[in-house]
Structures are given as structure tokens and as C-alpha cells.
A and B are shown apart, each in its own frame.
Chain A
Amino acid sequence: MPSFYEVGNRSRGILSWIFSTDHKRIGLLYLFSILTFFAIGVLLGFLMRLELIAPGPTIMRPQTYNAIFTLHGVFMIFLFVIPGIPSIFGNFFLPIQIGARDVAFPKINLLSWWIFMTGAFLAILSLFTGGGPVDTGWTFYVPYSLRTPVNVPLAVFAVFILGISSILTGINFVTTTHQLRAPGMTWFRLPLFVWAIYATAWVQVLVTPVVGITLLLTLTERLAGVGIFDPAKGGDPLLYQHLFWIYSHPAVYIMILPAMGVISEIIPVFARRTIFGYKAILFSSLAIASVGSFVWGHHMFVSGQSDLASILFSLLTFLVAVPSGVKVFNWVSTLYKGSIEVAPPLLFALTFIFLFSIGGLTGLFQGALATDVHLHDTYWVVGHFHYTIFGGTGFALFGALHYWFPKMFGRMYHKKIPYLAWAFLFVGFNTLYFPMLILGWKGMPRRYYDYLPQFHSLQLLSTIGSWILIAGLILLFANLVHSLFKGEKVGDNPWHGSTLEWQIPSPPPKENFEKIPHVERGPYEFR
């Protein structure tokens, strides 16, 4: 059967892509657009590191630096990690893994890509219009965001638009999972990746609107001076923070849950055995998604919120850490008595476990009330979230790319290079981010253009780490891009996976399945 590359729709060339309603084509559209934004984000991160290489002004002025970390945050969060795994791999593989021909609303799926691109376009436009690039940090805290002369209105509007795209994607995935499962695909036979995307989709649908309204109010505040968040008019700036984090804390679980889903796919395949504790992993996803929506106040321990609220939020924060632990323990146990081949996807999955554990455990220090008073808004937090987001979601993305690459493109990459790239990435990553934890503990605040001399050596080390890391990144992507064209053709199931996507040709045909399969066994039964 011809693959979905050959069979498009009525249009031709690029049009057959950007107007395609095929979930696989849309997945690839997301892949390339998101990777482009990611490249911009990385570049900005690199520039920040250069500025911080020594105290005092080095390559830019304070205002530029402030704009750069804001953009870095906005691009990485809203254009890279939040849409990342769900929009790329969720789109591509969720329908296949449940045995469907497409998502429930293919047209809305395409629409949501267009909305995503519109949001991205507006975000970029905001750099060149109005008062220039935003300098508020990705959190847009009031009242600073109401006072600064830069183009906050367009930027928050852009993020609002991106939110709509995210909601639509979520609606699509929830409905798809409910309605389009193949016969015999019971809830407990769903691959864990599907469960993770499903849980994430609920979070997307339910909390994104809250940040939507927050940003809209910030916009009207700027344009019309409504006064709801403006302390000069009686508004309470802490309420902005509440509303912002009601979304943005769950958003970190939007980033990590799909990543955890990827890990739950990769480990059993390369250990050749059923996953340990399927239900435990599944329910822990649901627990993280639900309880995780009620811990937002841990970003506000020193903001002046009531002590009572801080105490309760701290308690809830600690409780959501437990299901993450459950996942980690189950993954490690899946290795027990397996038959393990450390292929590149597994290497990244294991690295995920290590780096995410550091990220998560550093989160515990912030969840504890006494320590967060000291650590809040320092480089400790910066270290924490790079370990979780990048060490977690980022490495899971690497894993997913290497795992599903042969299925998506029908070719295999060069198998040795990823190990070399990994070595650079691993060393670079830890050299870049571990010093940040120490810096934070020593009291270096974040969002600092300049710093006191006692922080110099660690900042320098961190900058050196960023160079190593980027070398690894280039190697990794060069290999993948090269293999896109020159890679060896592979069969349908190079890893001997047992989920449905491995039972169809690589790359999949347009409608995925010639005949909708009848599912008779669990997802990870290899024998």
C-alpha cells in the first residue's frame, strides 16, 4: 500500500501538507514548526549563557537580556514543551495506537495547527511592533506587565491564541480516545502513551481557559485600564498570580505526562517484557493530572499569600510527588529480569529517569515551606525546571524521536552516532545545570543580568556546559536529518514492538489500517 507521503489530498506540493487533515501529516507539520521555534529558543538560551559568562556587561545591555530571557521562556514553554509531545507524537500515534483511521475531528485538528501558527506569528510580530520585545518574564506578572512600555498586549494575545490551539487539541484527543477505539481495545488495553495523552488532554481542556481569561484581562487592563489587577486602582496583584498558576502549574504536568507516556512505551519494548505495574502507572497519571491541578500556590510561598494557604499547598505539592515516584519505581522494575538491549531510545529513556529524578527531587526542596523561602526565585528554581523540562520532557522527546523515527519516515538512522551525541548531551547538560543548583543555594537570584563576583566561577562553568550540550544537540540532529534522506530502509517492526503502530507498514498508509484490527491482548504482551 502507498504510504501517507504518497497519498495526499486534492492539493499538491506544500499545499497538500498545510491543508491536510491527515493526523500523520499534521503531526509532521507540528514536528517541523515546533523544532524551528525550539531552535530559536536554544539560540536565545545560548546568548544568555554568553552574557552570564562573566560579571558586568559582556555582550548586551540589561534591557536586551530581559527581553531575551522572556522570549526564551515564552518560546520554550508555549511553543515547544507544551505542544511538543502531544501535538507531534500524540497526533501521529494516538489514533494508530487505538486502532483508528484518524482523530475524531480531523478538520479541527488542522485548524488547531493553523491557530498555533497564528499565535506563533503574533508572538514574533510582537518583537517588532509597539514598544518592542516584551521584558516581563514568561509569567507576565502584574503590575510590572501593566507598567512596562513594551508590547505586552500583543504578546499576551499571542499566548491566548496558542491556548485556544491547545484546548482544541485536547478536545480532539479526549473525544478520539472515547469514541474511536477499535473493537476489543478496552480501557485497560490502551497503551500507556495513550493514557498519558488522554490525561494530559483533560488538563489542557480544563485549565487552559483560566490562563486565557487571565491574559485577556491583562490585555484589557493595558488597553482600557479596567483596574482588576492594578493595585493603583484597588486590584490585587496576587490574584493575577493565583489565576496564572492555576494554569501554569498544571501546565508543567502537560509537559511531563506525555513524556512519561513515551518512557512507558520505550522501556518494555527494549526490555522485551510486559511493563511492571500497568495499572499503577496508569492511575498515577490520572492522580498527577487531577491532584496536580490544585497545588499552584507553591509558586507563591513568599508572595504574601496567607500562611494557611501556603501550608495546604505545600502538603498537596508533596502528595503529587508520590505518583511520580511510583512511575519511576515501576519503570526500574520493568528492567528486572528483562532482556535488555540498550538501543538509543532506551538510552534516552534511562537518562530521562536519572535527570527527571534530580529535577523532581529538587522540586521537593521547593515544595517544603522553609527551604522555598530561601530558594524561591533563585537559580535553584532555574536548575530545577531545566532538569524536569529539558532533562525530562526534552530527553523523552529525544527518545521518542529515536523510537518512532523508523515508523514515521520508514528509514533507520545511523545507530552509533546517537551514543556519541548522548555523551555530549549528558556531560553538557549536567555541567550546564548542576552549577545552577549550587548557585541558587548560595543565593543567586534568577533573571539577573549581572551578578556579584562570588558567583563567577559557577556561572562560567555553566556557560562551558552549554557549549558541550549544543555540540551534542547538533550531532544528534545532524544524524537524524541525514538519515531522513540517506538512512537505510527498515521493515515494519525494527524494535519488535507489540503496540498497533508496529503492526502496520512503515511509513503508515494514509488510512493507517486496511482493516480495522480487532484487539485481543494487552499492549505489552510480547509472547
Chain B
Amino acid sequence: MRTYILVWLMLVALTGVAVSVAGMDWGRWSMASALVIAFFKSGLILNYFMHLKDEKGSSLFKWIIPGVLSILILFIGLTFLDVAFR
């Protein structure tokens, strides 16, 4: 209960940070900062709201998210190998 509310507060705070950073016009860093914050937020949701942190049933749960992320990154990376060097 307490952790849930704490996590929620952090999520709200991070949203605030993201919005204010976006207002400041950091040039190309604005993209990076916004994404880092988004990753951080989703990490909180995954670990606390979705209990990934304490999932013990199978070691599969540990690899699911890193796995799918690396696949997605490879998909994007390989696609960029085309579009960025065309």
C-alpha cells in the first residue's frame, strides 16, 4: 500500500520533470532526457505495479523485458542501417 503510493508519487513527479524539461528547450538532449525518464517510469511500473521484481515462478520472467527490448532495439537499429545510410 505504502510502496504503491510512493511509486505513484514518483511517477507523477517524473512526469512533472519531463514536462518542465520539455519546456526548457534542451535541443537534442530533450529527446534523450524524455526517453530516459520514460524508461525510468516504465521500470517503476513494471517492477512495482506489475510485480516483475518479485516474480519467482520461472526464470523466464527475469529475461522477458530485457529480451524484448533488445529485440526491438535490433529491429530499429538494423532498419536505421538502411534509412540513415541510403
Binding site for B on A (CB under 8 A): 178-179, 206, 210, 236, 238-239, 242, 246, 293-294, 296-297, 300, 304-309, 312-313
Contact of A178 with B85 in the complex, beta carbons under 8 Å? no
Chain B residue numbers with a CB within 8 Å of A305 are 82, 86
**Distance (whole angstroms) from the CB of A497 to the closest CB of chain B:** 30
Task: Work out how many contacts link A and B, with CB atoms closer than 8 A.
Answer: 41
Does chain A have a CB within 8 A of B74? yes
How many Å lie between the Cα of A179 and that of B60 in the bound state? 11
Does chain A have a CB within 8 A of B71? yes
Contact of A307 with B78 in the complex, beta carbons under 8 Å? no
Chain A residue numbers with a CB within 8 Å of B3 are none
Q: From known contacts A178-B58, A178-B60, infer whether A293 and B71 are also in contact, taking CB-CB under 8 Å.
A: yes
Chain B residue numbers with a CB within 8 Å of A306 are 81-86
How many Å lie between the Cα of A308 and that of B80 in the bound state? 10
Chain A residue numbers with a CB within 8 Å of B79 are 239, 242
Say which size band chain B's interface belongs to. Answer: 10 to 19
Contact of B85 with A206 in the complex, beta carbons under 8 Å? no
Binding site for A on B (CB under 8 A): 58, 60, 68, 71, 74-75, 78-79, 81-86
**Distance (whole angstroms) from the CB of A351 to the closest CB of chain B:** 35
Contact of B81 with A206 in the complex, beta carbons under 8 Å? no
Chain A residue numbers with a CB within 8 Å of B83 are 236, 238-239, 306
**Distance (whole angstroms) from the CB of A253 to the closest CB of chain B:** 15
How many Å lie between the Cα of A179 and that of B71 in the bound state? 24
Contact of B82 with A297 in the complex, beta carbons under 8 Å? yes
**Distance (whole angstroms) from the CB of A396 to the closest CB of chain B:** 28
**Distance (whole angstroms) from the CB of B70 to the closest CB of chain A:** 11
**Distance (whole angstroms) from the CB of B79 to the closest CB of chain A:** 5
Contact of B81 with A312 in the complex, beta carbons under 8 Å? yes
Chain B residue numbers with a CB within 8 Å of A294 are 74, 78
How many Å lie between the Cα of A236 and that of B84 in the bound state? 13
Could you list some 22 contacts between A and B, CB below 8 A? A179-B58, A206-B71, A236-B83, A238-B82, A239-B79, A239-B83, A242-B82, A246-B75, A297-B78, A297-B82, A300-B82, A304-B86, A305-B82, A306-B81, A306-B82, A306-B83, A306-B84, A308-B85, A309-B78, A309-B81, A309-B82, A312-B81
